[in-house]
Amino acid sequence: MRTLTIKPKAITHNLNQVKKMAPQAKVLAMVKSNAYGHGVAAVLPALQQADGIGVATFIEALEARQLGWKKTIGLVEGAFTADEWQQAIEQDISCVIHHEPQLEWALDNIPPANSATRVVWLKYNTGMNRLGFNAESVMTAAKRLHEAGYQLILATHFANADNRTHPLNSKQIQRFTNVLKALRETISANIKGSLCNSAGIVNFSEHHHEWVRPGIILYGSSPVIDKSAHELDLQPAMNFSAQIIALQTVSANDAIGYGSRWVAQQDTKTALVSVGYGDGYPRVVNGDAYVSVIDSTNNRSYLCTVIGRVAMDMIVIDVSAVPEDVALLDSQVMLWGDAPHIDEVAVHADTISYELLCRVTMRPKRIQA
């Protein structure tokens, strides 16, 4: 059975790691894209010690409210329409305001004084060049919002925080710091700041400001290029496993799978595992990609390379080095989780763990550990 095991305790552990790294800041825990594929219903109870959650769409915000989340919800791209702004007020959601139309919606339709929607995350574009006001217009926007009674959090987003020495980081930090200082001096000393995603939390501890916005780090992946999840004491929150459904020995010179891409150099013991890209395992992995066959009796596991093309419903693995009483029909195979770590799988798939997590399909059975 293809199985996705979600570990809420790992998420709580990882949240605590964030709190240790950013002890002064409030935490907006990112649960967009169905909590990075983990399932928002499974994840919210593990985030009770967060100060708020962040989502990308109004539907995600609504889902969290329906699941009983009472604290802050930050809509990180803001309302998409004037109508969504009105709905945000009704659901007490705090919105990003990143361009003029959103500013006008907010000024035309001011929520009640006690509404969470009175708190807005004003987005300043410091170099990501996707969302946000420029330095001049952000000052004007802030002034107008403040005068209309909004409480402001100045927010920006790093483009390269994973790579601490990238030259854009210091520029983004400098621009943000300058504007925040100017806003506090000219508009209100109460304006808050939010600069750091997961990578920023790790790499720029002196710039955490009032709110940090951890995402991937909560799910147990490393957000930075020079430290592993293990080095950051993070726990993977998702185990993705399947089972061996056939065993065979292929002869030397036999090819396996679509495109006959892998050719046996010698007689090779292989196992067929009932999982594929139809479950969310990436179709394109390089020849070094591996999974682990679990020996549950002895609490051991054996790394096995994935050979041939990943298909929709199955992969073939080389079990030559696995004891015969371990590589059996029905034996459990871990695609990612405790081992291999998803960050390693991502490298073999030329992507990042974020994408693998989000794109697991609905076919695997979902359980919680």
Q: Which residues of 99-110 are buried (b: 16+ CB within 10 A; e: fewer)?
A: beebbebbeeee
Q: Which segments of the chain are extended strands (E)?
A: 3-6, 26-30, 52-55, 72-75, 94-97, 119-123, 151-155, 192-196, 211-212, 238-250, 255-256, 262-263, 268-273, 290-295, 300-307, 315-318, 332-336, 365-368
Binders of its own copies in range 299-328 (CB under 8 A): 308, 311-314, 316
The token pair that represents 87 in the structure block: 């709905």
Interaction of residue 274 with its own copies, rule CB under 8 A: yes
Interaction of residue 82 with its own copies, rule CB under 8 A: no
56, 107, 187, 303: which one binds its own copies (CB under 8 A): 56
Nearest of 361, 366, 358 to residue 36 by alpha carbon:
358
Interaction of residue 280 with its own copies, rule CB under 8 A: yes
Question: Looking at 9, 171, 181, 258, which residue is catalytic?
Answer: 258
Q: How far is the CB of 325 from its own copies (least distance, A)?
A: 16
| Cross-strand pairs, 271 | 247, 317
| Cross-strand pairs, 30 | 54
Interaction of residue 220 with its own copies, rule CB under 8 A: no
How many Å apart are CA 115 and CA 77, to the nearest integer?
19
The CB density around residue 303, as the number of other CB atoms within 10 Å, is: 15
Q: How far is the CB of 254 from its own copies (least distance, A)?
A: 5
Interaction of residue 33 with its own copies, rule CB under 8 A: yes
Interaction of residue 243 with its own copies, rule CB under 8 A: yes
Q: How far is the CB of 148 from its own copies (least distance, A)?
A: 22
99, 164, 175, 269: which one binds its own copies (CB under 8 A): 99
How many Å apart are CA 355 and CA 343, to the nearest integer?
11
Interaction of residue 279 with its own copies, rule CB under 8 A: yes
Question: Looking at 26, 32, 123, 192, which residue is catalytic?
Answer: 32
Q: How far is the CB of 169 from its own copies (least distance, A)?
A: 11
Interaction of residue 265 with its own copies, rule CB under 8 A: no
How many Å apart are CA 283 and CA 39, to the nearest integer?
23
13, 19, 57, 115: which one binds its own copies (CB under 8 A): 57
In the Cβ-directed half-sphere of 57, how many Cα atoms lie within 13 Å?
Answer: 6
| Cross-strand pairs, 301 | 294
The CB density around residue 25, as the number of other CB atoms within 10 Å, is: 24
Interaction of residue 277 with its own copies, rule CB under 8 A: yes
Cα–Cα–Cα angle for 11, 39, 34, rounded to 5 degrees: 105
Interaction of residue 225 with its own copies, rule CB under 8 A: no
The token pair that represents 113 in the structure block: 């004084």
Q: How far is the CB of 190 from its own copies (least distance, A)?
A: 28
The nearer residue to its own copies, 288 or 300, going by C-beta atoms, is: 288
Q: Is 312 labelled as part of a ligand binding site?
A: yes
Q: How far is the CB of 125 from its own copies (least distance, A)?
A: 8
How many Å apart are CA 158 and CA 214, to the nearest integer?
13
The token pair that represents 263 in the structure block: 């050719």
CB contact at 8 A, 334 and 292: yes
Kind of pairing, strands 119-123 and 94-97?
A: parallel
Respond yes or no: is residue 354 known to be catalytic: no
Q: How far apart are the first and last CA of the chain?
A: 16
Select from 9-17, 184-192, 334-342, 357-365 the region that touches its own copies (CB under 8 A).
357-365
Interaction of residue 67 with its own copies, rule CB under 8 A: no
The nearer residue to its own copies, 180 or 275, going by C-beta atoms, is: 275
Interaction of residue 252 with its own copies, rule CB under 8 A: no
Binders of its own copies in range 150-209 (CB under 8 A): 159-160, 166, 168
Respond yes or no: is residue 32 known to be catalytic: yes
What residues make contact with its own copies under the rule CB under 8 A?
Answer: 1-2, 32-34, 36-37, 56-57, 59-60, 76-77, 80-81, 98-99, 101, 127-131, 159-160, 166, 168, 243, 245-246, 248, 250, 254-260, 272, 274, 277-280, 283-284, 308, 311-314, 316, 329-330, 350-352, 354-355, 358-359, 361-363, 365
Which positions are annotated as active-site residues? 32, 258
